Amino acid sequence: MRLPVLLAALVAVATCTETFVGHQVLRVTPKSDEELQKVQELQALEHLQLDFWLAPRGLGLPVDIRVPFPSLQPVKTHLEASGVSYSIMIEDVQALLDEEQTEMLRSSRQLPLDTNTFNYEAYHTLDEIYSFMDMLVAENPNLVSKLEIGRSTENRPLYVLKFSTGGTNRPAIWIDTGIHSREWVTQASGVWFAKKVPTHPGHDLCVASILETMDILLEIVTNPDGFAFTQTKNRLWRKTRSKHSGSICVGVDPNRNWDAGFGEAGASGNPCTETYHGPYPNSEPEVKSIVDFVKSHGNIKAFISIHSYSQLLLYPYGYTNTPVPDQQELHEVSAKAVAALSSLYGTKYKYGSIITTIYRASGGTIDWTYNQGIKYSFTFELRDTGRYGFLLPAKQIVPTAEETWLALKVIMEHARDNMY
């Protein structure tokens, strides 16, 4: 039908100068030569500024006329006086245009209307993820709230979603994704996890039972400045975007900036490198805000930081070869979690301490959280093993999130059943 095309054209015009407030579109279908002549007379009356969307072509064929507001009375009088019947196709052209424009903008930016129409199988922008969070909270006001725990170097808000069925300062499980901005499957998985938690109660007794006694805290975009940079300038940017005096290079590795073996072997003192630990521990607001939050919360029992890629489940330490006192228990939990993960799609993970499995790394997140007394401190490295690496195809987002969720549930259940 011609209507959408014409409307689109009008939108283009309407956004510039003209307004179509009060304009109507009338349809006349002449059934006799006299009626046809009456309609054709209208075409000659230029002062009416009529816009024929469908010109008179013959008997029985519709004539569509956009009539500006001032001309409505004369046109209707002209038609009625001659006994020519007409119908009002569009009551107010401007109202329709406004609606169309909203719809066009929405579909061109793919703005979903709610978390059920959100596309979990695609990578999203920071704005889209932040608006997803607001939608999730709005849809689940009794379960989900959004906490602002600080601001990034470039003053972006740092948001944590809190999933809680009540109580006061219940023991909690912390999950963060996207601390390294180029690891896009992690933020995307975080969004999926966020949606999964409220979707559970009817479907999964496990998470429902966890939420009876524990809270879940989820920071989806832990490094928003870096994330924005990967969208606009450099897809493979890892660090924060801070500038420290004395160097032209930008950024600190947020997973070398924690106060656990800070500055020791396993991090770099060179600001121009990817593992630069920063000038001092917690120099990065993205890190400090979590440190402050964890300390003031005081009741976090499991801390899981999610990265990609390599398909690994890791526990502390990275900064020293000394095994953690809880090594055996963490190793056993890892084995169970990895088995659960594999059960879905056969994805193979290795597991072990950071320093034996991947490399020596100092100033790392879970080394600090473990030393704070959070026994169940784990890091995931999600898909894949190098075929696509950081550039994991979007169609792998949901399978990755699904299998990882099974592993997370194992860790969460273990924390719930082994309260300390």
Pick the piece of the chain touching other proteins (CB under 8 A) from 147-155, 286-294, 319-327, 384-392.
384-392
Q: Binding string to other proteins for residues 84 to 123, with x set by CB under 8 A, is what?
A: --------------------------------------xx
Could you tell me how many helices (H) and strands (E) the chain has, helices first? 13, 12
> What letter does residue 259 receive in the DSSP assignment?
S
* One residue of 131, 199, 342, 385 binding other proteins per CB under 8 A: 385
- Of the candidates 381, 402, 403, 413, the residue annotated as catalytic is 381
**Residue 38: partners with Cβ closer than 8 Å, 6 or more residues away:** 30, 78, 79, 82, 84
Closest CA to 187 of 224, 142, 138, 149: 224
Q: Which one of the spans 41-49, 107-115, 267-275, 297-305 is the region binding other proteins (CB under 8 A)?
A: 267-275
How is 342-379 classified by DSSP, letter by letter?
A: HHHH----EEEEHHHHT----S-HHHHHHHTT--EEEE
Cα 112 to Cα 147, 194, 236, 276, 399: the distances in Å are 23, 16, 27, 38, 21
The CB-of-392 to other proteins minimum distance in angstroms stands at 5
Distance of closest approach, residue 395 Cβ to other proteins, in angstroms:
8
Look at residues 221, 218, 223 and name the one whose alpha carbon lies nearest to residue 207: 218
* Long-range CB contacts for residues 110-117, cutoff 8 Å, separation at least 24: 114/139, 115/139, 115/195
Nearest to 253 by CA among 292, 279, 291, 219: 279
What DSSP line would sit under 161-192, residue for residue? EEE--S-SS--EEEEEE-SSTT-HHHHHHHHH
Select the span of 11-19, 140-148, 220-228, 357-365 touching other proteins (CB under 8 A).
Answer: 357-365
Stretch in the footprint of other proteins (CB under 8 A) among 8-16, 149-157, 219-227, 356-364: 356-364
- 3-class DSSP assignment, residue 217: strand
Closest separation between CB of residue 387 and other proteins, Å? 6
Site for other proteins in 189-248 (CB under 8 A): 230, 235-236, 238
Annotated catalytic residue 403: no
Q: Under rule CB under 8 A, how many of the chain's residues touch other proteins?
A: 32
Q: Is 78 exposed, middle or buried (0-12, 13-18, 19+ CB in 10 A)?
A: middle
Rounded to 5 degrees, what angle do the CA atoms 100, 104, 106 make? Answer: 115
Which residue, 231 or 371, is less far from other proteins as judged by CB? 231
Residue 339 contacts other proteins per CB under 8 A:
no
Closest residue by Cα to residue 381 from 368, 391, 390? 390
274 sits near other proteins (criterion: CB under 8 A): yes
Measured from the CB of residue 385, what is the shortest distance to other proteins in angstroms?
A: 7
Cβ proximity to other proteins: between 69 and 388 the closer is 388
Stretch that binds other proteins, among 59-67, 144-152, 197-205, 391-399 (CB under 8 A): 391-399
- Angstrom distance (rounded) from CA 188 to CA 140: 20
The reply to whether 265 sits near other proteins by the rule CB under 8 A is no
Q: Which two tokens stand for residue 110?
A: 């793919």
Minimum distance between the CB of residue 348 and other proteins, rounded to whole angstroms?
7
Part of the chain binding other proteins (CB under 8 A), chosen from 34-42, 279-287, 386-394, 402-410:
386-394
- Asked if residue 64 binds other proteins (CB under 8 A), the reply is no
Nearest approach in angstroms of CB 317 to other proteins is 15
Tell the smallest beta-carbon distance from residue 182 to other proteins (Å).
9
Under the criterion CB under 8 A, does residue 362 sit at the interface with other proteins?
Answer: no
Q: What angle do CA 40, 46, 49 make, to 5 degrees?
A: 100
Q: Is 399 in the site for other proteins (CB under 8 A)?
A: no
66 counts as binding other proteins under rule CB under 8 A: no
Q: Give the whole-angstrom CA distance, residue 175 versus residue 91.
A: 53
Q: Which is nearer to other proteins, 27 or 331 (CB)?
A: 331
125 makes contact with other proteins (CB under 8 A) = no
User: Based on CB atoms, which residue is closest to other proteins, 67 or 330?
Assistant: 330
Q: How far apart are CA 362 and CA 133, in angstroms?
A: 33
Residue whose token pair is 């109202």: 95
Options 350, 371, 372, 398; binder of other proteins; rule CB under 8 A: 350
Burial 182-199 (b: 16+ CB within 10 A, else e): bbbbbbbbbbbbbbbbbe
Query: What are the residue numbers of the active site?
Result: 381
Contact set with other proteins (CB under 8 A): 122-123, 184, 230, 235-236, 238, 253, 268, 273-275, 310, 348, 350-352, 356-359, 385-394, 396
